[in-house]
Structure 1
Amino acid sequence: MVQQFPQILGVFSMLKEGDIGTGGTKRNRENITYWYVRILSPDDFEVQPLNQYHVPSGIKNSVKKSQFLTTYTPEPAYYRMNTVPALESLARKIRQGNEAFANGDLNEAERQFIKALMIDDRNVDANMGLGKVYAEKNEFEKLKKVLETLLSIDEVFVEEQRKRFNEFGISLRKNGYYDESLRYYNKALEFTKKDENLYFNLARVHYERGDRDGCMKSLKNALDLNPSFVEAQKFLSHCERLSA
């Protein structure tokens, strides 16, 4: 049977010893931290710290199996009693938020997504959901704040999330938030240079900011990737006529 990765391994602890104080007050102290662990491959493990609510949140790091086995200790009881219920609560709030959004109850959706973010303020799905609510409500100052969080989370730029997040960039552009929209597209392009739609949307932001050169450059990048991109061809021809 072929193993499928990643696999959730559970919660592990790491014990570190260090000295605190100086001189006569110096003493040794043990510090225990808890980590959510997934197996990425037979030799690679992913560790992510748990926050105060016992859910994984923060920077993920890859650790080789040899280092992992000598550094981390399994905590099955902690995982079962703390992390599993917290993750279930988080997932339930996100699900309820999405259901409320689908039913058009934006206030209830906002409430559930905010409750989810109280458990994990960097959760991608909860932030995405709250962003959808604020975009639908035309509350763009609040959407900007959500965007700040999302721009700092690399997970946003995986394929599925990037397509959803792209809607926020379009919404911000349409409502005059050009700088924020530019930040999104430039950040997204750090993760992929092969999406002609990103370049096309970036070109529209440049155009509406009055930066025709930036617009034309982005359109040419889009057409380099997809020479048959009709909308980009028409847009570039329009810009070239204006510059003639």
Structure 2
Amino acid sequence: MAEYPKILGVFSRKKADDIGSGGTQRRHEAQTYWYVRRLSEEQFEVQPLNAHHVPSGVKSTVPRLEFIYQYTPEPDYYRLHTVPALETLARKIKLGERYFNLGMLDDSELEFIKALMIDDLNVDANYGLGKVYSEQKEYEKLKKVVNTLMGLDGAFSFEHRQKLNEFGISLRKNGHFDESIRYYNKAIEYNKKDEHLLFNLARVHFDKGDRAEAAKTLENALKINPEFDQAQKFLRYCRKNS
């Protein structure tokens, strides 16, 4: 049985448009490049490449027959341009994370910025830069990164669940309560049945001093999972000390 999603590489798509009118009208054909993953036997995911040859921007799902007729494989483009660019991007993100774990925040910031120069919508690089600014207490810079992340659907996907939680915890621990609340509420919009996100949001409200809102949020978490032991204990504590 085939395992999905499966990376297929880069494909091109040609689109013809009529420019001008009457006797001056001419046909113009534009060629665009797309990063493609096969999601199933009948569905393909396409994402445009940016000027640096890496996938960036909105992903779309295309049915099999439409994909076959409209997209052409570009193995040389993928090998010569996209693979090296993706490898460079991955190295910069990995180095940024290494510097962050070593407490070298300025060096970490520089590597994440370099990564974002390749792909300004990269989720991992934005999360990394956000954690740096959270630790540095750079509120205005942090706010810009949070705004970027909140506009990226992929930031709240299951694939990035660990980074999502790490970033939210970093915001709370560093006292960025309003940004943390805004961020968690957005995450919950994408993950309405995740009791752990609600639990983490409750901790932010509690640390901010709003125990009534913390208790309400914990009650919502327990509606999803009544056996959530940590939430039960936290709720009892909030009610006892309100």
Common fold by TM > 0.5? yes
> In the alignment, residue 67 of structure 1 is paired with which amino acid?
E
- Residue pairs, 1:42-57, within 5 angstroms: 42-57=41-56
**Of 50-59 and 188-197, the range deviating more from structure 2:** 188-197
Q: Distance in 1 between matches of 2:110 and 2:177?
A: 28
Q: Which residue of 1 aligns with 2:121?
A: 122
- Residue pairs, 1:19-38, within 5 angstroms: 19-38=18-37
Q: Does 1:138 align with 2:151?
A: no
SS at match of 1:80: helix
Q: Is the 8 A contact 1:11 1:79 kept in 2?
A: yes
Q: Distance in 2 between matches of 1:126 and 1:58?
A: 14
**Of 189-198 and 105-114, the range deviating more from structure 2:** 189-198
Task: Give the deviation of 1:38 after TM superposition.
Answer: 1.1
Q: Which residue of 1 aligns with 2:221?
A: 222
Q: Distance in 1 between matches of 2:240 and 2:29?
A: 70
Q: Is the 8 A contact 1:162 1:188 kept in 2?
A: no
- TM-score, normalising length from structure 1? 0.87
Task: Give the deviation of 1:54 after TM superposition.
Answer: 0.6
Task: Give the deviation of 1:72 after TM superposition.
Answer: 0.6
**Of 198-207 and 228-237, the range deviating more from structure 2:** 228-237
- Residue pairs, 1:1-244, within 5 angstroms: 2-159=1-158, 161-207=160-206, 214-237=213-236, 239-240=238-239
Q: Is the 8 A contact 2:96 2:110 kept in 1?
A: yes
Gap change, CA 1:163 and 1:25, over 3 Å in 2 = same
| 1:46-102 superposed Cα distances (whole Å, 9 cap, x missing partner) | 110000111000111111111100001111121111111111111121122122223
Q: Is the 8 A contact 2:35 2:48 kept in 1?
A: yes
SS at match of 2:121: coil
> In the alignment, residue 141 of structure 1 is paired with which amino acid?
E
SS at match of 2:11: strand
Task: Give the deviation of 1:210 after TM superposition.
Answer: 6.6
Q: Is the 8 A contact 1:140 1:172 kept in 2?
A: no
Task: Give the deviation of 1:31 after TM superposition.
Answer: 1.0
Gap change, CA 1:203 and 1:32, over 3 Å in 2 = same
**Of 110-119 and 24-33, the range deviating more from structure 2:** 24-33
**Of 59-68 and 204-213, the range deviating more from structure 2:** 204-213
Aligned pairs, number? 242
| 1:157-209 superposed Cα distances (whole Å, 9 cap, x missing partner) | 23352332233333434555443222211211122233222212323444566
Gap change, CA 1:104 and 1:181, over 3 Å in 2 = closer
SS at match of 2:39: strand
Q: Distance in 1 between matches of 2:108 and 2:18?
A: 47
Q: Distance in 2 between matches of 1:145 and 1:126?
A: 14
Q: Is the 8 A contact 1:199 1:218 kept in 2?
A: yes
Q: Distance in 2 between matches of 1:168 and 1:183?
A: 13
Q: Distance in 2 between matches of 1:125 and 1:209?
A: 28
Question: What is the alpha-carbon root mean square deviation over aligned residues?
Answer: 2.4
Task: Give the deviation of 1:235 after TM superposition.
Answer: 4.3
SS at match of 2:10: strand
Structure 1: stretches of 5+ with no match in the other structure: none
Structure 2: stretches of 5+ with no match in the other structure: none
